[in-house]
Amino acid sequence: MRGISLGWADNAIWRVITVGILVVRALLATAAAAETVPFPPHLCEYVHCPTGADTDKEDEVEPIRRLGETISVDAAKPDRHIEDRYFPIMRRFPNVESCLDSSNPAAQLLTDAKMKWRELSSEPAAYVCLFRLFDAMRNSTLAAQWLSDNGFSDVRDLPGDQERRMIYSDSTHTAGEVRVVSAYWPTSKNGRLYGSVLSAFFESLVSLGIELHAVFDRDGNVLWIEIGSNPRFPK
């Protein structure tokens, strides 16, 4: 009886080990499959989703533009200030897909997509992701629609020469050749837009809201974005 019970126990142990190995293999296979679909497939018609032949490009960091000049992490001799301010964020959010909330199943167009605001810890992070979204849209009208649909107020889409508050700094374009989408985020009403809870609290002590200006060229490319505060105590 003792020998029989020991044999039965040995078989049970091996069965448990075998089942455990199969479960681990299944989990690893599931994880590997999930990594090949970094964004909901139904959005791939509107934004680039790396698949198949694009696997070698998944880690590529798409450039941004600031004051009309291209900023790339592959630059041979980058400006040290630009490198410190933007490169880590550009690597964390290498493309528009990485900036958007993939848990929103209702999104069918970029205008329906939701930004990962809570993961954007600073103004440069907001700059990078807003640039990626608007540059993917390639249309100032769509950008204005997205801002209106996402809680921004006073949204305008005007020719550059009619936007008097715009600080124009790009020498390669005249004001009449661009369009400027402007909007306002009232933090006192809507709460923080980006940044940590602590930084947003201190910001609220001196600011009423956030002003946003996105500058598009005639082809819909984003030249740069301005993000500033509306001071609570103007000078």
pLDDT digits (tens, 9 = 90+) for 5-19: 445 455 655 565 555
Q: How many residues does the chain have?
A: 235
* Helix, strand, or coil (residue 227): strand
Mean pLDDT value across residues 76-87: 87
pLDDT digits (tens, 9 = 90+) for 180-230: 999 999 988 888 888 777 766 666 666 788 999 999 998 999 998 999 887
Q: Is the pLDDT of residue 56 over 60?
A: no
HEC per residue, 205-226: HHEEEEEEEEEECCCCCEEEEE
121 close to 194: Cβ distance less than 8 angstroms: yes
**What pTM was computed for the model?**
0.70
> What's the token pair of residue 87?
């490169």
* Helix, strand, or coil (residue 24): helix
Number of alpha carbons in the 13 Å side-chain half-sphere of residue 179: 17
181 close to 217: Cβ distance less than 8 angstroms: no
pLDDT digits (tens, 9 = 90+) for 144-179: 999 999 999 999 999 876 665 555 555 566 666 889
Number of alpha carbons in the 13 Å side-chain half-sphere of residue 125: 19
Mean pLDDT value across residues 108-131: 90
Contacts of 137 (CB under 8 A, 6+ apart): 110, 111, 143, 146, 220
Cα separation, 158 vs 187, in Å, equals: 24
pLDDT above 90 covers a percentage of the chain that reads: 37
114 close to 101: Cβ distance less than 8 angstroms: yes
Question: What residues form DSSP beta bridges with 180?
Answer: 158, 215
What confidence score (pLDDT) does residue 229 get?
A: 81
Phi/psi at 132 (nearest 5 deg)?
-60, -40
Cα separation, 202 vs 71, in Å, equals: 30
What confidence score (pLDDT) does residue 92 get?
A: 95
Cα separation, 48 vs 80, in Å, equals: 30
> What's the token pair of residue 10?
């040995």
Cα separation, 225 vs 42, in Å, equals: 29
Q: Is the pLDDT of residue 28 over 90?
A: no
